[in-house]
Amino acid sequence: MHPRAGTPALPEDLIDVDALVGAYYDRVPDPSVPDEQVVFGTSGHRGSSLSTAFNEAHIVAITQAIVEYRRSQGTDGPLFIGRDTHGLSEPAQRTAIEVLVANGVEVHVDARDSFTPTPAVSLAILRHNGAGTSEGVRTHGPGLADGIVVTPSHNPPADGGFKYNPPHGGPAGGEATGPIAARANELLADGWRHVARIPYERAITSDLVKRHDYLTAYVDDLTNVVDLEAIRTAGVRIGADPLGGAMAEYWGVIGERYGLDLTVVNPTVDPRWPFMTLDWDGKIRMDCSSPHAMASLVARMTAGDGPAPYDIATGNDADSDRHGIVTPDGGLLNPNHYLAVMISYLFGGARPQWPTSAAIGKTLVSSSLVDRVGAQLGRTVLEVPVGFKWFVPGLIDGSVGFGGEESAGASFLRKDGTVWTTDKDGPIACLLASEILATTGKSPSEHHRALVDELGESWYARIDAAATREEKAKLGALSPEQVTATTLAGGAITARLTAAPGNGAAIGGLKVTTDDAWFAARPSGTEDVYKIYAESFVSAEHLAQVQAEAKDVVAAALAN
């Protein structure tokens, strides 16, 4: 923990935006250096121009690779593009538009020439491709739309990010990102300067560039997902903090459009993020699930003896695909706790039009409290590997009513049981907290305490353990038979998993369970560590024992 975690940023913590943008254009990556290659993680390619990991050459190559990939798939409709508030996002979007237009792709940009939340791009793709029609969403064939979101999500201000959303509207899977990254790296090595481009001033005025009102389309449709009338009637006082992200202009419009008692806590947008409090490691990071990054909002809600200024306060990260919920009686809700509350509320009678067979989607590193809630409700819990992309098919056909991750990302169906967005949607999770309060009279924190009383309290944490590149590769390819341990922290091991039970997909690591605890180990894609997620329904001390023995179990498996 950094000694200044949770304290306001100082001038020396801030980036030089001009230097950052200058490096985007001036630095040219060396494709023989692994850290300077195109690498697609679970949320696209990310990096900083200052470390030659996110530069003009990368975006030219990735965009060209996307053009070629969408052609190979027969996707010849418009491409919806949006960007967040990071300093590198606008330059990268400009570069992408230059390449897309030169390749004859129809590009839909924001009508306000402003910021666009990730879920608004997902919604635009889905609506173009048939969501809400009798035909339903089409994901293959001519005339279909896809999209690009220029964002590194909650990453520090010096970072840039670039992700592709295919016609299903959600994050691209490996079947797309693998070929796109491989082709982009080929172009980096021998031809990115030869990629067709049109100067931005000509490209943006081309007939191929259309203006799309992402804001109005998203805001007008929200009433079909969340009970905004209940929130208005109950007079729930909402404090919405966009954390300097893409929701900065949206929250005020939502409040006015639906007559909500909603205050935009801080509407300032500044790519240096000077108004943030530092995260756990002393970096500026727009992580709305972090008590350190959210310290100022938490203090505003919980300080002093008088009443809190809001009944519900919320935060979003830079592209608004994550949510943070703060209540006067509970402070910042742990993301796992709020997942369980949302699921209990939505499937417990709040959405009577949802299919009775609709499953609860969770990632395998999310709290087992979700499994206990699912069992209580008599609903199937679909446990999938890390990555929101695994929920996309179920959200499209309605077989999954809710998909959520332990990292504060979630989306769910419209009230009528049809698809809303297939990417993480922070705003609807934030508004749902107010709906819960409005319709039940209890805060999400109170609902969580009730769940704990019924189903048991748990202790959850993630830690890192050192690992070489070779060990990480071996961990990612383990088989259950390589795990020889029979007990974990005093309990008999009930499952050894290297594939997710919900869909059989490889998890790229290992999960071990007992009746009252579990751990999952996954290699980091960027550091010489592996991540250990663990939970105990016994005690904090038992969690520590699980974490310690997890390292021994992994070491023994790697030695086999």
The answer to whether 203 and 98 have CB atoms below 8 angstroms apart is yes
Residue with the two structure tokens 């966009």: 242
Beta bridge partners of 149: 82, 163
- The tokens 């890192």 sit on which residue? 464
What is the C-alpha to C-alpha distance for residues 164 and 174, in angstroms, rounded to an integer?
Answer: 11
CB crowding 26-65: b at 16 or more within 10 Å, else e: ebebebeeeebbbbbebbbbbbbbbebbbbbbbbbbbbbb
Marked catalytic residue, from 153, 289, 367, 434:
153
Catalytic annotation present for 399: no
Q: What are the residues facing 161 on neighbouring strands? A: 46
Contact 392, 105 (CB under 8 A): no
122 and 223 in contact (C-beta within 8 Å)?
no
CA–CA gap between residue 464 and residue 344 (Å, rounded): 31
Contacts with 446 (C-beta within 8 Å, 6 or more apart), sequence order: 329, 330
Q: Which residue has the tokens 């980091």?
A: 524
Cα(540)–Cα(68) distance, rounded to whole angstroms?
51
Count the helix, strand and coil residues of the chain and give each as a percent rounded to the nearest 5: 40, 20, 40
Residue 266: beta bridge partners?
none
What is the side-by-side strand order in the sheet with 400-405?
A: 381-384, 359-363, 400-405, 409-412
Using left for φ > 0, alpha for ψ between -120 and 50, and beta otherwise, residue 104 falls in left
Distance (Å, whole) CA 233 – CA 36 = 53
Residues classed as catalytic: 153
